Structure 1
Amino acid sequence: MEDRFSAGKKVASLGIAVNILLLIFKLTAGYSAGSQAMIADGFNSLGDVFASAVTLFGSLYAAKPKDADHVWGHGKAEYLASMIIGFSMIAMAVYTISGSVGSLIEQSTLEFSWWLVGVAAVTIAAKASLYAFCIKKNRQYKSVLIKANAQDHRNDVFVTSGTLIAIFLSVLGFHWVDGAIGIAISCWIIYSGFMIIRESARVLMDTGSDARTLEEYKDEILRIDGVDHIDSVSTKPVGAKIILIVKVSVDKDMTVIESHKIAKAIELEMMHDRAEIDDVIVHINPDLPHV
């Protein structure tokens, strides 16, 4: 887990540095040329700086070891941080929509500028590189924070590509496209924010594993000698991992020691080669007639 959180810190630190530079370039170019699409893109980079900072602090806190007050560790800090990122994306997008709507109402014109084209091209290249880096790290460590950053960088590639289209269309006199793309950019950011919030909320609200995964767990448990039948199997997320809660019935005449051995066998079997399981809690019931 230490490598996982170290990867999150690397992703965050790189994101902060790159996004600060892009923020300066975009807002300078956007306000100079009067491009609402570029200004919206610039404020999106401001949100990216905040998101990377939240990722950094979230990774640092989530990496803290278990203690008396957090017996399952601090892993959910990742999901709290990613939820904050989602809300910040939505707030920033709502703000930029107002400027784009105003541009359409006032029928503002956009002056073509190679400076705008250059900033957009550099942004696309930088964000594509960051996206590739984050995806590589997410495949290694399955971190919701790294995944949220990857999605954010991917969105920026599409967003800035839209800005670039608006810049070239302004040459043909389609100045309204700039405001329209600014609105589209903001709507895309809002959608992405909601998706990040939804994924984080599933863990924070203790949403268990899907039915297919639970069936796989049940099949594995039933292969263990001494298990008469399964009463229930459920999971509780604790950060990136889960606690597996198992209730099984055994022979009612079995000794406590024998039933304990079965419980231990279930624990060892389910934690063997399953990185997603942090702990297994087994409750033994006597196999009594069901009423």
Structure 2
Amino acid sequence: MEDRFLSGKKVAILGIAANIILLLLKLTAGYASDSQAMIADGFNSLGDVFASTVTLLGSIYAAKPKDAEHVWGHGKAEYIASMIIGFSMIVMAVYTAVGSVESLAAGEKLEFSWWLVAIAAATIVTKLSLYCYCIGKSRQYNSVLIKANAQDHRNDVFVTSGTLAAIFLSFAGWYFMDGAIGIAISVWIVYSGVMIILESARVLMDAGMDRDTLEQYRKEVLQIEGIDHVDSLNTKPVGAKAILVVKISVDRDMTVIKSHEIGKKVEDELLACHPELDDVIVHINPDLPHDLEKMEFRKK
């Protein structure tokens, strides 16, 4: 986990430095040539600076150890930070969309410049490199925050490609395409922001793991000697990991000590085999008659 949070910090610092440079280049070139697509792309880079800053702060806070008020740690800070990134992308998208609409309404013309082409090409190369680096780290550590940052870089590759297309189309006399692509860029940013928000909200709203994963846990629990059946299995996300709450039934005449040993074995074996679990809470019931739904978990 320490490596995970350290990686998040490195990704954020690298993103901040790269995006500040791109921001200055894009806005300078965009306003000089009156390119709404490049200006929209520039403000997107401003949003990227903010996103990388939020990634940095989220990684720092999520890395804080458990304390009396946060007994499960501060891991959900990653998802709060990801949600903030999503909302910031939407705000920037609305701003740039308004500017693009005004450009279309006024019939503004883009002044072609190879300077614009060079900046767009440099942006694509830079962002593609950042995306490859970040997506690799997000998969390595299963980090939604680094993934959000990676998606932001990936979006910029498509966004700037659109800007580059607008530059060449204006050279051919299709000036209206500059504003049109600026609007398209804004729509893409909104979509990406919404998807990041939904993914983060799923964890913040304590959505559990999928049924296939729970079924795998159930099968492993039933392999432990002394368990008659599993009454229920539920998970609760706590940042990058999850808590598993499992209720099992054992022989009603079993001693408390023996049932405790079985419960401890369930906890130890699941934690040893599943690094995605932060803790396993085992509740033990006596083997009494159950309804049909719970009987589905009985050993065959």
TM-score using structure 1 length: 0.99
Task: Return the alpha-carbon distance in structure 2 between the equivalents of residues 121 and 288 of structure 1.
Answer: 70
Q: Residue 295 of structure 2 corresponds to which residue in structure 1? A: none
Q: Deviations over 1:42-62 (max 9, x none)?
A: 000000000000000110000
Identify unmatched segments of 5+ residues in structure 1.
none
Which letter does structure 1 place at the counterpart of 2:54? V
Q: Residue 68 of structure 2 corresponds to which residue in structure 1? A: 68
- How far has the Cα of 1:268 moved from its partner? 1.1
Q: Residue 138 of structure 1 corresponds to which residue in structure 2? A: 138
Which letter does structure 2 place at the counterpart of 1:162? G
Q: Residue 180 of structure 1 corresponds to which residue in structure 2? A: 180
Q: Residue 196 of structure 1 corresponds to which residue in structure 2? A: 196
Q: Residue 120 of structure 1 corresponds to which residue in structure 2? A: 120
Q: Deviations over 1:19-63 (max 9, x none)?
A: 000000000000111111000000000000000000001100000
- How far has the Cα of 1:237 moved from its partner? 0.1
Q: Residue 149 of structure 1 corresponds to which residue in structure 2? A: 149
Report the secondary structure of 1:281's partner residue: strand
Task: Return the alpha-carbon distance in structure 1 between the equivalents of residues 216 and 105 of structure 2.
Answer: 57
Structure 1 residue ranges (4+ consecutive) displaced by more than 2 angstroms after TM superposition: none
Q: Residue 80 of structure 2 corresponds to which residue in structure 1? A: 80
Q: Residue 229 of structure 1 corresponds to which residue in structure 2? A: 229
**1:19 equivalent in alignment to 2:8:** no
Report the secondary structure of 1:70's partner residue: coil
Q: How does 1:232-247 map to 2 (within 5 A)?
A: 232-247=232-247
**1:111 equivalent in alignment to 2:111:** yes
- The root-mean-square deviation of aligned C-alpha atoms, in Å, is 0.7
Task: Return the alpha-carbon distance in structure 2 between the equivalents of residues 273 and 245 of structure 1.
Answer: 16
Q: Deviations over 1:143-182 (max 9, x none)?
A: 1111001000000000000000000010111111111100
TM-score using structure 2 length: 0.96
- How far has the Cα of 1:214 moved from its partner? 0.7
Task: Return the alpha-carbon distance in structure 2 between the equivalents of residues 177 and 213 of structure 1.
Answer: 48
Q: Deviations over 1:41-96 (max 9, x none)?
A: 00000000000000001100000000011000000000000000000000110111
Report the secondary structure of 1:12's partner residue: helix
Task: Return the alpha-carbon distance in structure 2 between the equivalents of residues 139 and 145 of structure 1.
Answer: 11
Which letter does structure 2 place at the counterpart of 1:253? D
Q: Residue 45 of structure 1 corresponds to which residue in structure 2? A: 45
Report the secondary structure of 2:252's partner residue: coil
Which letter does structure 1 place at the counterpart of 2:46? L
Report the secondary structure of 1:288's partner residue: coil
Task: Return the alpha-carbon distance in structure 1 between the equivalents of residues 47 and 195 of structure 2.
Answer: 16
Percentage of pairs with the same residue: 73
Task: Return the alpha-carbon distance in structure 2 between the equivalents of residues 100 and 290 of structure 1.
Answer: 64
Task: Return the alpha-carbon distance in structure 1 between the equivalents of residues 184 and 116 of structure 2.
Answer: 19
Which letter does structure 1 place at the counterpart of 2:68? A
- How far has the Cα of 1:258 moved from its partner? 0.7
Q: Deviations over 1:180-221 (max 9, x none)?
A: 100010000000001110110011000000111111111111
Q: How does 1:243-258 map to 2 (within 5 A)?
A: 243-258=243-258
Q: Residue 264 of structure 1 corresponds to which residue in structure 2? A: 264
Q: Residue 162 of structure 1 corresponds to which residue in structure 2? A: 162
Q: Residue 294 of structure 2 corresponds to which residue in structure 1? A: none
- How far has the Cα of 1:139 moved from its partner? 2.0
- How far has the Cα of 1:13 moved from its partner? 0.3
Report the secondary structure of 2:188's partner residue: helix
Task: Return the alpha-carbon distance in structure 2 between the equivalents of residues 141 and 215 of structure 1.
Answer: 24
Report the secondary structure of 2:268's partner residue: helix
- How far has the Cα of 1:107 moved from its partner? 1.4
- How far has the Cα of 1:290 moved from its partner? 2.9
Q: In the superposition, relative to structure 1, how do residues 214 and 163 fare at CA in structure 2: closer, same or farther (>3 Å)?
A: same
Which letter does structure 1 place at the counterpart of 2:44? N
Identify unmatched segments of 5+ residues in structure 2.
292-300
Task: Return the alpha-carbon distance in structure 2 between the equivalents of residues 212 and 11 of structure 1.
Answer: 32
